[in-house]
Amino acid sequence: MGTLEQTVETEEHHGPARGITRWLYTTNHKDIGTMYLWFSLIMFLLGGCMALSIRAELFQPGLQLMAPNFFNQMTTMHGLIMVFGAVMPAFVGLANWMVPLMIGAPDMALPRMNNWSFWILPFAFSMMVSTLFMEGGAPNFGWTFYAPLSTTYAPPSVTFFIFAVHMMGISSIMGAINIIATILNLRAPGMTMMKLPLFVWTWLITAFLLIAVMPVLAGVVTMMLMDIHFGTSFFNAAGGGDPVLFQHVFWFFGHPEVYIMILPAFGIVSQIIPTFARKKLFGYASMVYATASIAFLSFIVWAHHMFTVGMPLAGELFFMFSTMLIAVPTGVKVFNWVATMFRGSMTFETPMLFALAFVVLFTIGGFSGLMLAIAPADFQYHDTYFVVAHFHYVLVPGAVFSIMAGVYYWLPKWTGNMYHEGMGKLHFWLSFIGVNITFFPMHFVGLAGMPRRIPDYALQFADFNAVASVGAFIFGLSQLLLVYNVIQCIRVKRHTTAQVWEGAEGLEWTVPSPAPYHTFAQPPLVK
Amino acid sequence: MTLIGRGLALLGLILSPSAYAEWQVNLMPGVTEISRAVYDLHMTIFWICVAIGVVVFGIMLYSIINHRKSRGAKAHNFHENTLVEIIWTIVPFFILIGMAVPATATLIKMYDKGEAELDIQVTGFQWKWRYHYLGEDIDFFSSLSTPREQIANESEKGEHYLLEVDNPLVIPVGKKVRLLLTSNDVIHSWWVPGLAVKKDAIPGFINEAWTVVTEPGIYRGQCAELCGKDHGFMPIVVDVRSEEDYKLWLAEMKQAKAQASDAATQDWTLADLMEKGEEVYNRTCAACHQVTGEGIPGAFPALKNNPIMVAEPSAHIDVVLNGKAGTAMQAFRDQLDAVELAAVITYERNAWGNNSGDLVTPAQISKLKQ
Ligand code: HEM
Ligand SMILES: [Cu+2]
Ligand SMILES: [Cu+2]
């Protein structure tokens, strides 16, 4: 009798604290994952509003809604918020929730640091968004912030931007260390490396990329800070510096960064397709090797963003060939996904729909990426809407669709309730149609000669721009359905089982739904 | 599927010449040997991608249609096949080599830097281009000529809205022209799609590009690197003329220059200078300091009620002639002639209620310019 009471007491002790302190002080991977995901959703909506303001201005030729300087602030903030505020935190949130559940760990390896890496983010982004209200306005030099536009010619708020980037970098590095430590140390007995679910593998590799390149980003913004306030001339030609050096350092961070935004997406899709095809992932080992090769190659392709800066011929050729090589492991991934579906027994619930759209639309983004790798052709594509189309195909129906797929896939596990399938499908179809109407025509205007980052354009681009703007509003507004679906799923009791999906495999499906506050206090045995 | 429908529509658009005008969907082949080579390369890669896409998406679609549970499909349980995996690693590799060969050949052709028959130094400024014909005494600025009212939607937009300039770059047809690109402030990028030339103009460095245009005509482009507020408003117009017409243009330019220096020696009244000054100000300074002289707080200072306007003129003249190093305020010494400088300074000192009553004469400026 006595022992029973004691257990009940300790159990209660281990439940979540009440009120705001639960969230402020929490070291629980599920709470922190949840906070990351909500944060990312808010940033996605904020960055989305900025995108819609850009598209509204570009609906017709002429300046209607905003002055060019504000337009530049919108593109810059949109890019920064989407990359650092929406996509990256969403993946970290998913990792927080799912990595321990997938490897049979009780929590992340460094729970206090976990709390800290999340709570830095709201401060970093408040600082960055507050620049919109400063004299001279927010950063207006593009998310790539090329010097000297971002140093000598920048608005005073650039200093706040630099500190915000530093804070995001610290947050990312801590998050990455935590993920690596968790995966390497807290795997359940029997969970060997080559049994890890692919989401875990891709995140492990992503975490190494993060640790490798976030310090480079910190370095480049520190050099800017020095140039702006302490009289150095890293990027100032008049003082003996080199503006092109900025681009080399930035893209040495920047290219791996784009893989940071896509490798976990590969992982998610590699979890979902086998579940709904009811068939094991084809070529597991080659998926792991392909991910690792992509990560390696991502360090030696950076100057493909700089084909027009005037590199010597040998440089152009090297970066052209190395970039083209990335197509090989990427192709392997796509073929493996298709082979997984082949002769499976497929059903098409919302997560699967998003995953299938991912495979097709990401591949289209990959094709335009291959075209951009061809240096002589890139002279025509570079800095046009063709590039905007390319990276939105890999980021929106790529990274963002994978996140949505993951959310619908794991939401029943998180909440214990099934989301509304019909509403989920509606959200999918509106997003799918919206995304293509928005971004497909951007290929056309780009090829026809429309540069990116311009608030107004020549008349021959008018028709497709109007189409793209209509699509953007369809896509943007349909994201309200995502918000609705998530809240519905939390509030409406539509109880689901531990297994949730008929074809799902993995440790996360062995714990009850909703996953209890503490899981795997006793490590499971993996055979 | 919608995708196929869209692909067909795209194909139709590419193939029908009438669609070219408004709903242009593809690169233009252009008017140089290089631009045509780039176009061919672009189309080759495009079709290779389409072919791969058809195969991959075709198989995927086949599975989606046939291997669905609702049709009673049972999942097979193969999940590995070393041979297949090796094949689909090696085959793409060879396809890539097939793309790399023509790409490398084109790139080498672009980098073939032989002697040129005409060298032009191109300098990017916030937000205009300067063309200096090396060896000829010709040096001028080229900026957007679309009227403000069109941009503000107060009047109907012209045919070449945002793609028209006051002084186009004029070059002879069939001659190798070398461009030496640099910048006065931030990075710009000089791009004319019809010539397939895009090269960054970087402060402190000189980049090289060249072109041989085979057909006379007017070719339009834009700055392609974000360079600040008016990045979208610094177009490029290249006017390619026959050898004789080009020679004629050279002579005209030289004559115009002589006339301008005559004007500097004439006497100018305050009213004349104010009138000219307003025109120069709105064309050259208003992008930053605004038509109202109120500037943009935090970025560009107001000139209205600025103490510098009523103090002794030398400081004012000095800023305008020499600019302020390390800021967006450029040196206008070479951008404007003596009359324009005198006029714009006089205008600023008397407009928007500054009313200093000062008259700065072209003769005064000419002396300082020497
Ligand atoms: C509602 C969906 C979205 C729309 C309508 C949209 C639209 C746009 C537009 C119009 C631009 C400006 C292009 C230019 O002027 O050069 C832009 C830039 C950009 N977008 Fe998006 N976007 C969306 C979602 C996203 C997402 C989800 C991401 C990232 C994951 C993203 C990343 C970027 C980046 C990095 C830039 C470049 C910013 C820069 O030029 O510095 N966008 N977007
Ligand atoms: Cu890259
Ligand atoms: Cu520009």
CA–CA distance from A33 to each of A44, A492, B36 (Å)?
16, 21, 53
Q: Which residues are within 8 A (CB) of B76 and not within 5 positions of it... i.e. 6 or more apart?
A: A279, A343, A344
Please classify residue A451 by burial: count the beta carbons closer than 10 Å to its beta carbon, then call 0-12 exposed, 13-18 middle and 19+ buried.
Answer: buried
pLDDT of amino acid B261 = 75
Given this model, what pLDDT does residue B283 score? 86
Mean pLDDT, range A58-77, rounded to an integer:
95
pLDDT of residue A57 exceeding 90: yes
Percent of chain B residues topping a pLDDT of 70 = 94
* Confidence check: pLDDT of B341 > 80: yes
Question: Which overall architecture, per CATH, does domain B118-261 show?
Answer: Sandwich (2.60)
- pLDDT bin (cut points 50, 70, 90) of residue A80 is very high
CA of A78 from ligand 1 middle (Å) equals 6
Query: Is the pLDDT reported for residue B113 higher than 80?
Result: no
Q: Which two tokens stand for residue A377?
A: 């052709």
Q: Which of A82, A464, A477 to mutate to test the pocket of ligand 1 (most atoms within 8 A of CB)?
A: A82
| b/e burial code for range A56-90 (CB count within 10 A of at least 16 → b) | ebbbebbbeebebbbbbbbbbbbbbbbbbbbbbbb
* Catalytic residue status for A305: yes
One-letter amino acid at A206 equals T
Contact A473, A55 (CB under 8 A): yes
Could you tell me the CA-to-CA distances from A522 to A188, A193, A200, A350 in Å, in that order? 9, 20, 20, 33
Calculate mean pLDDT across residues B91-120: 93
Ligand 3 centroid from CA B213, angstroms: 24
Q: How far off is chain A from B118, nearest CA to CA, in Å?
A: 20
At residue A471, the pLDDT reads: 97
Express as a percent the part of chain A with pLDDT over 90.
94
> Does the CB atom of residue A54 touch ligand 1 within 6 A?
yes
Nearest CA in chain A to B183: A237
Using CA atoms, how far apart are residues A130 and B6, in angstroms rounded to an integer? Answer: 42
A45 Cβ closer than 6 Å to some ligand 1 atom: no
B141-163, pLDDT tens digit by residue?
Answer: 999 999 988 999 999 999 999 99
Q: What is the mean pLDDT of residues B248-274?
A: 85
Average of per-residue pLDDT across B309-317? 87
* Cβ under 8 Å to B: A residues 73-102: none
Q: Which two tokens stand for residue A410?
A: 């794991």
Separation of alpha carbons A500 and A410, rounded Å = 9
Residue keyed to tokens 């000669």: A449
Count CB pairs under 8 A between chains A and B. Answer: 301
How many Å separate Cα A268 from the centre of its chain? 12
Task: Please indicate whether, in this complex, the C-beta atoms of A346 and B68 are within 8 angstroms of each other.
Answer: yes
Contact between A53 and A66 (Cβ < 8 Å): yes
- Decide: helix, strand or coil at residue B237: strand
pLDDT given at position A7: 42
Question: Predicted confidence band at A2 (pLDDT cuts at 50, 70, 90)?
Answer: very low
Rounded to whole angstroms, the Cα distance separating B195 from B34 reads 8
ipTM: 0.91
Give tens-digit pLDDT for A182-222. 999 999 999 999 999 999 999 999 999 999 999 999 999 99
Choose the most confident range, by mean pLDDT, from B1-15, B20-34, B347-361.
B347-361
CA angle A507, A510, A513 (to 5 degrees): 120
Q: What is the mean pLDDT of residues B288-305?
A: 88
Interface contact A360-B207, CB threshold 8 A:
no
d(CA B48, CA B51): 5
Asked if A146 lies within 8 A of B225 by C-beta distance, the reply is yes
Secondary element (H or E) of residue A41:
helix A29-57
The yes-or-no answer on residue A413 being catalytic is no
Closest CA to A390 of A361, A416, A419, A413: A361
pTM of the model: 0.91
Q: What pLDDT does A60 receive?
A: 94
Catalytic residue (one of A40, A151, A206, A270): A270
Which residue, B8, B99, B92, B93, is CA-closest to B45? B99
Ligand 1 within 6 A of CB of A451: no
Per-residue model confidence (pLDDT) at position A144:
96
Question: In this predicted structure, what is the pLDDT of residue A418?
Answer: 95
> How far is A297 from chain B, CA to nearest CA, in Å?
15
CA dist., res. A313 & res. B208, Å (int): 13
Tokens 């030609």 sit on residue: A237
| Alpha-carbon span A428 to A353, nearest angstrom | 7
> Could you tell me the two tokens for B224?
């392609």
Listed in order, the ranges of chain B carrying CATH 1.10.760.10 are 266-369
Q: Report pLDDT digits (tens) over A453-462.
A: 999 999 999 9
Write out chain A residues lying below 8 Å of B22, CB-based. 460, 462-463
pLDDT in tens, A235-283: 999 899 999 999 999 999 999 999 999 999 999 999 999 999 999 999 9
pLDDT of residue B6: 53
Per the prediction, chain A carries an average pLDDT of 94
Cα separation of B58 and A357, whole Å? 14
Distance B227 CA to ligand 3 centre (A): 4
Which atom of ligand 1 is nearest to A396's Cα? 27
* pLDDT confidence of residue A14: 65
Q: Is the pLDDT of residue B207 over 60?
A: yes
Strand, coil or helix: what is B192? strand
Q: Give the pLDDT of residue B13.
A: 44
The single-letter DSSP state of residue B269 is: -
Facing residues of A71 across strands?
Answer: none
More confident position, A21 or A245: A245
**Token digits for B253?**
């330019």
CA of A83 to the centre of ligand 1 (A): 9
Contacts (Cβ under 8 Å, ≥6 apart) of B232: A68, A451, A453, A454, A455, A456, A457, B162, B222
Query: Minimal CA–CA distance to A308: which of B119, B197, B26?
Result: B197
Task: Ligand 1, residue A388: give the atom nearest the CA.
Answer: 13
| pLDDT for res B22 | 64
Q: Which residue has the higher pLDDT, A59 or B314?
A: A59
Task: Please say if the pLDDT value at position B33 is more than 80.
Answer: yes
How many whole angstroms separate alpha carbon A140 and alpha carbon B299?
A: 11
How far apart CA B42 and CA A490 sit, in angstroms, is 50
To the question of domain B266-369 being in CATH 1.10.760.10, the answer is yes
Whether the per-residue pLDDT at B285 is higher than 70: the answer is yes
What letter represents residue B311's amino acid? A
Which residues of chain A have a CB within 8 Å of the CB of B96?
324-325, 327-328
The pLDDT, as a whole number, for residue A132 is: 96
pLDDT in tens, B60-73: 999 999 999 999 88
DSSP string, A155-172: -TTHHHHHHHHHHHHHHH
Which pLDDT score is estimated for B16? 43
Question: What pLDDT is recorded for position B183?
Answer: 95
Interface-testing mutation among A273, A439, A460, with chain B (most B C-beta atoms within 10 A) = A460
| A81 in Cβ contact with A126 (< 8 Å) | no
Identity of the highest mean pLDDT range in B18-27, B265-274, B280-289:
B280-289
Q: Which tokens is A393 given?
A: 């195909």
Q: How confident is the model at residue B325 (pLDDT cuts 50, 70, 90)?
A: confident
Q: CA A475, A479, A481: angle at the middle one, nearest 5?
A: 125
Question: Does position A76 have pLDDT exceeding 60, yes or no?
Answer: yes
> Is residue A86 over pLDDT 80?
yes
* Pairwise pLDDT comparison (A118 vs B354), residue with the higher score: A118
Provide the 3-class DSSP secondary structure of residue A141. Answer: coil
Cα–Cα distance for residue pair A323/A366, rounded to 1 Å: 11
**A88, pLDDT greater than 90:** yes
Q: What percent of chain B has pLDDT over 90?
A: 62
The pLDDT, as a whole number, for residue B157 is 93
**How would you class B113 by CB atoms within 10 Å of its CB: exposed for 0-12, middle for 13-18, buried for 19 or more?**
exposed
pLDDT, tens only, A341-391? 999 999 999 999 999 999 999 999 999 999 999 999 999 999 999 999 999
Contact map slice: A 342-361 vs B, CB within 8 A: 342-348, 356, 359-360
Q: pLDDT tier at B190 (50, 70, 90 boundaries)?
A: very high
- Enumerate helices (H) and strands (E) in chain B, giving the number of each: 10, 10
Query: Which residue in the list A57, A107, A227, A508 is annotated as catalytic?
Result: A107
Check residue B355 and give left, alpha or beta (phi > 0: left; psi -120 to 50: alpha).
left
Which residues belong to CATH 2.60.40.420 in chain B? 118-261
pLDDT for the residue numbered A470 = 97
> Phi then psi for A168, rounded to 5 degrees?
-60, -40
Distance CA B120, CA B206 (A): 12
For residues B100 and B122, give the distance between their C-alpha atoms in angstroms, rounded to a whole number: 32
Identify the pLDDT of residue A488: 95
User: What is the mean pLDDT of the segment spanning A413-426?
Assistant: 96
pLDDT at A224 over 60: yes
Peptide bond into A429 cis (omega under 30): no
Query: In chain A, what percentage of residues exceed pLDDT 70?
Result: 97
> Is the CB of A429 inside 8 Å of chain B's CB atoms?
no
Residue having the nearest C-alpha atom to atom 28 of ligand 1: A82
Which pLDDT score, from 0 to 100, does residue B298 have?
79
Averaged over B343-364, what is the pLDDT?
88
pLDDT tens figures, A159-190: 999 999 999 999 999 999 999 999 999 999 99
* pLDDT number for residue B257: 82
Ordered domains of chain A (ranges, CATH): 25-509 (1.20.210.10)
| Cα A184 to Cα A172: distance, rounded to the nearest angstrom | 18
Tell me, using a 6 A CB cutoff, whether residue A452 lines ligand 1. yes
Cβ contact, residue pair A345, B107, below 8 Å: no
